[in-house]
Amino acid sequence: MRPWLIRHLQVFFYSLGQLWRSPWGTLMSVAVIAISLVLPTALYLALEVVDDLSGQWHSGAEISLFLEPEVSDQAAINLAKKINQRPQVASVDYISATAALEEFRQKSGFGVALDLLDKNPLPGLLRVLPKDNQLSSIQAKAWLLEFSALPEVDQAEYDYAWVQRLQAMVQIGQRLGLIFSILLGGGVVLIIGNTIRLAIFSRRQEIEINKLIGATNGFIRRPFLYSGMQQGALGGLFALAMIYAALSLLAPAVVRLAGTYQSEFTLQIVGWIELLLLPLLGGALGWAGAWLAVGRHLREIEPG
Q: How far, in whole angstroms, is CA 190 from its chain's centroid?
A: 26
Q: How confident is the model at residue 2 (pLDDT cuts 50, 70, 90)?
A: confident
Q: Where are the alpha helices (DSSP H) in the chain?
A: 2-21, 23-59, 73-84, 97-108, 111-115, 137-148, 161-202, 204-212, 217-260, 272-297
Average pLDDT, the chain: 76
What average pLDDT score do residues 103-109 get?
66
Triad 123, 106, 119: Cα angle to 5°: 35
- Region 253-274: mean pLDDT is 65
Q: What is the pLDDT of residue 56?
A: 54
**Average pLDDT in the 129-144 region?**
71
CATH fold for the domain made of 62-159? Alpha-Beta Plaits (3.30.70)
Residue 1: predicted pLDDT? 63
- Kindly report which listed range (12-16, 66-70, 110-114, 245-249) carries the lowest average pLDDT score: 110-114
- 79, 94, 124, 209, 215 from 74: Cα distances, Å: 9, 10, 11, 97, 93
pTM: 0.62
Do residues 267 and 49 touch, judged by C-beta distance below 8 A? Answer: yes
pLDDT grade for 28, boundaries at 50, 70 and 90: confident
Instruction: Tell me what the mean pLDDT of segment 85-113 comes to.
Output: 74
Of 20-34, 49-63, 178-192, least confident by mean pLDDT is 49-63
Q: Where exactly does CATH 3.30.70.3040 map onto the chain? A: 62-159
pLDDT band at 37 (very low <50, low <70, confident <90, very high): confident
The whole-number pLDDT of residue 81 equals 87
Q: Among candidates 143, 119, 129, which has minimal Cα distance to 70?
A: 119
What pLDDT is attached to residue 270? 59
List, for residues 173-189, the tens digit of each pLDDT value.
Answer: 778 878 878 888 888 88
According to the model, what pLDDT value does residue 263 have? Answer: 59
